[in-house]
């Protein structure tokens, strides 16, 4: 099989997947979600207010966890998310899969060395000028607040 055949076969699979989900998903992807547009920063205070440590967690571990938050800045456009974390910039393409009055589900592609462009799903829950996501398989939430432009 030549590389062209591989890409053509993958393209046909993608076409079938689009046919299964219907044109409304394509419209959401093209339209994006205006609630996401703009700049956001990880909200350390609000995230840590909900974080649950076991009673015997050392203070230095608590401080190390807290220092992971508050630095990430995200800038969303209709299809792209630019991130800035400790001086490192990255760009991720995403598409809106579903939306309701309180949230949006997006699929994003990140460039990972040796792994290609793996996909990830994020369910983003809006709350006034902030949003939250669930971290991994935990019931822990990370909050983001909107930045003024």
- The three-class DSSP label of residue 121 is strand
- Please indicate, yes or no, whether the overall pTM of this predicted structure exceeds 0.85: no
Q: Read off the pLDDT of residues 10-37 as tens digits, 9 standing for 90 and up.
A: 444 444 444 444 455 445 556 678 999 9
Q: What total number of domains does the chain contain?
A: 1
- The three-class DSSP label of residue 57 is coil
CATH of residue 107's domain is 2.40.128
Q: Is the pLDDT of residue 8 over 90?
A: no
Do the domain assignments include residue 57?
Answer: yes
Range of the domain at 28: 23-146
142 closest CA partner among 83, 89, 30, 65 = 65
Q: Is the pLDDT of residue 145 over 80?
A: yes
Do the domain assignments include residue 112?
Answer: yes
Which of 2-11, 25-34, 95-104, 115-124 is predicted with the least confidence, judged by mean pLDDT?
A: 2-11
Contacts of 21 (CB under 8 A, 6+ apart): none
Do the domain assignments include residue 1?
Answer: no
Do the domain assignments include residue 76?
Answer: yes
Q: What pLDDT was estimated at residue 18?
A: 44
Mean pLDDT to the nearest integer, 100-104: 94
Q: Is the pLDDT of residue 98 over 80?
A: yes
Do the domain assignments include residue 7?
Answer: no
65 closest CA partner among 149, 135, 2 = 135
């Amino acid at each position: 099989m030549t590389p062209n055949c591989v890409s053509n076969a993958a393209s046909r699979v993608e076409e079938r997947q689009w046919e299964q989900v219907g044109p409304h998903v394509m419209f959401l992807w093209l339209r994006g979600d205006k609630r996401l547009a703009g700049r956001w920063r990880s909200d350390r205070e609000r995230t840590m207010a909900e974080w649950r440590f076991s009673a015997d967690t050392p203070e230095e571990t608590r401080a190390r966890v807290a220092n992971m938050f508050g630095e990430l800045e995200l800038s969303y456009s209709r299809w792209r998310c630019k991130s800035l974390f400790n001086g490192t910039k990255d760009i991720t393409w995403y598409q809106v899969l579903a939306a309701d009055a309180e949230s949006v589900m997006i699929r994003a592609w990140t460039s990972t060395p040796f792994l290609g462009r793996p996909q990830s799903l994020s369910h983003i829950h809006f709350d006034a000028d902030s949003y939250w996501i669930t971290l991994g398989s935990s019931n822990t939430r990370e909050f983001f607040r909107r930045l003024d432009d």
